[in-house]
Amino acid sequence: MDEVIVTQGLTRRFGDKVAVDALDLRVTRGEVFGFLGPNGAGKTTTVRLLNGLLTPSAGHARVFGYDVARDATEVRRRTGVLTESPSLYENLSAYDNLAFFGTLYGVPEERLPERCRQLLDEFGLAERGDDQVGGYSKGMRQRLAIARTLLHDPQLIFFDEPTAALDPTAARMVRDLISRLAVREGRTVFLCTHNLTEAQELCSRVGVIAQGSLRAIGAPSDLARRLWQGLWVEFDLRGAPSDAVIAALDGLPVVHQHSLEQGRLLAELEAEEHIPEVVAAIVAARGRIYSVAPRQHSLEEIYFEIEAQNGAQTGGVA
Ligand SMILES: Nc1ncnc2c1ncn2[C@@H]1O[C@H](COP(=O)(O)OP(=O)(O)OP(=O)(O)O)[C@@H](O)[C@H]1O
Ligand SMILES: [Mg+2]
């Protein structure tokens, strides 16, 4: 079964407030799915619903085929959650924290010491493993909290803002770990983050949520294609294009417009598949091309465009 998370009309209200509003979401095995959206959008509530920590007010969600409301225990056996502010036992050592939670998560007793030592080692905490967590830095705590999330070898891991408040080195380490979990180990990662550069680096697909409802979902490149009509491509001709090249471009209906920017020719094409045709036309007009670079939209540009379009109208590009 390739679909790890499937929700249909998933809704959660708190009194009059609709925190999650008829969410339809699919996440497949082995992907790093980014869940983006402003403060209070409903990300953490969704994570809690998907782990059976909250019950839906309406709609359904299945995780590994189990209904999150009816089979929460089966769901939690297969999922790990790094919450926004993980709590650890301050007066216990890192080892004892892991051993305590390992028992809670059902790690067999005979395997527990080895598993705890292995995780401490993997997270660079082996030397300090017997020190009280009260004396740990924020980065060390976060590493320990992530290690705890992985104790029972979950196949789906939720990270709720895992790198917020970490220094660049610790954040880098967490990002490497997330990509390793998915790419090398084939686990599925559901990542809530406000860091759009991080999401761009890690996520194969993203969902954007605002005021409880999904505004857009897809691979960043697909979202960009839906948000902007044409594709801007930069041609390096080492100098201004000749009149013949300009005439060739003007003669192609798939070239919407073109301009010169810092000595480079920029052309807006109807779609990516027209690049070879345009290259051929420039070459036929005796233009010498040194490089061709389609301009990719960053996830940040995509995010703000979705936000702008949703401000202007409701509905989005989901
Ligand atoms: N236990 C609760 N009781 C009442 N309201 C709640 C509860 N949990 C969440 N909410 C409300 O639901 C909405 C969504 O909150 P949620 O924590 O899911 O947002 P979020 O997207 O995770 O935001 P952030 O980026 O700030 O973490 C907010 O308006 C919040 O106040
Ligand atoms: Mg949150």
Q: What is the CATH number of the domain that holds 68?
A: 3.40.50.300
Q: Do 117 and 206 belong together in one domain?
A: yes
Per-residue confidence (pLDDT) for residue 315, from 0 to 100: 46
Q: Do 262 and 286 belong together in one domain?
A: yes
What does the DSSP assignment read for 15-36?
Answer: TTEEEEEEEEEEEETT-EEEEE
List the structure tokens of 307: 């936000």
Per-residue confidence (pLDDT) for residue 165, from 0 to 100: 76
Residue with CA nearest ligand 1 atom 9: 45
The answer to the question of residue 66 being in a domain is: yes
The answer to the question of residue 307 being in a domain is: no
Per-residue confidence (pLDDT) for residue 1, from 0 to 100: 58
The answer to the question of residue 306 being in a domain is: no
Instruction: State the ligand closest to the CA atom of 38.
Output: 1
Q: Do 100 and 218 belong together in one domain?
A: yes
In a 13 Å sphere around the CA of 80, the CA atoms on its Cβ side amount to 26
Cα separation, 291 vs 282, whole angstroms: 12
Q: Do 233 and 220 belong together in one domain?
A: no
Is pLDDT at 303 greater than 50 in this prediction? yes
pTM value is 0.87
Atom of ligand 1 nearest to the CA of 84: 27
Question: Of 224, 251, 284, which closes a domain?
Answer: 224
The backbone torsions φ and ψ at residue 71, rounded to the nearest 5 degrees and listed phi first, read -120, 45
Q: Do 246 and 194 belong together in one domain?
A: no
Q: Do 137 and 118 belong together in one domain?
A: yes
Per-residue confidence (pLDDT) for residue 312, from 0 to 100: 61
Dist. CA 194 → ligand 2 center (Å): 10
The answer to the question of residue 308 being in a domain is: no
Cα 252 to Cα 186, 225, 263, 272, 274, distances in angstroms: 45, 21, 22, 14, 10
Q: Do 22 and 46 belong together in one domain?
A: yes
Instruction: State the ligand closest to the CA atom of 35.
Output: 1
Domain total in the chain? 2
pLDDT digits (tens, 9 = 90+) for 153-212: 999 999 999 998 788 988 998 999 999 999 888 999 999 999 999 999 999 999 999 999
Q: What is the mean pLDDT of residues 69-76?
A: 94
Per-residue confidence (pLDDT) for residue 141, from 0 to 100: 92
- Mutate which of 10, 20, 43, 83 for ligand 1? The one with the most ligand atoms within 8 Å of its CB, which is 43
- Percent of the chain's residues with pLDDT above 70: 97
Question: Of 167, 189, 224, which closes a domain?
Answer: 224
Q: Do 209 and 238 belong together in one domain?
A: no
CA dihedral of residues 162, 165, 167, 168 (deg, nearest 10): 60
Instruction: State the ligand closest to the CA atom of 39.
Output: 1
Residue span of the structural domain in which 264 resides: 229-294
Q: Do 19 and 41 belong together in one domain?
A: yes
List the structure tokens of 247: 């005439």
Q: Do 236 and 136 belong together in one domain?
A: no
Q: Do 271 and 165 belong together in one domain?
A: no
Per-residue confidence (pLDDT) for residue 166, from 0 to 100: 85
Q: What is the CATH number of the domain that holds 270?
A: 3.30.70.100
Mean pLDDT for the chain overall: 93
Question: Of 224, 252, 272, which closes a domain?
Answer: 224
Query: 47 pLDDT band (50/70/90 cuts)?
Result: very high
pLDDT digits (tens, 9 = 90+) for 249-272: 999 999 999 999 888 899 999 988
> Does 41 sit in the ligand 1 pocket, CB within 6 Å?
yes
Q: How far is Cα of residue 252 from the mean position of the Cα atoms in its chain?
A: 38
> Does 302 sit in the ligand 1 pocket, CB within 6 Å?
no
Per-residue confidence (pLDDT) for residue 67, from 0 to 100: 97
The answer to the question of residue 25 being in a domain is: yes
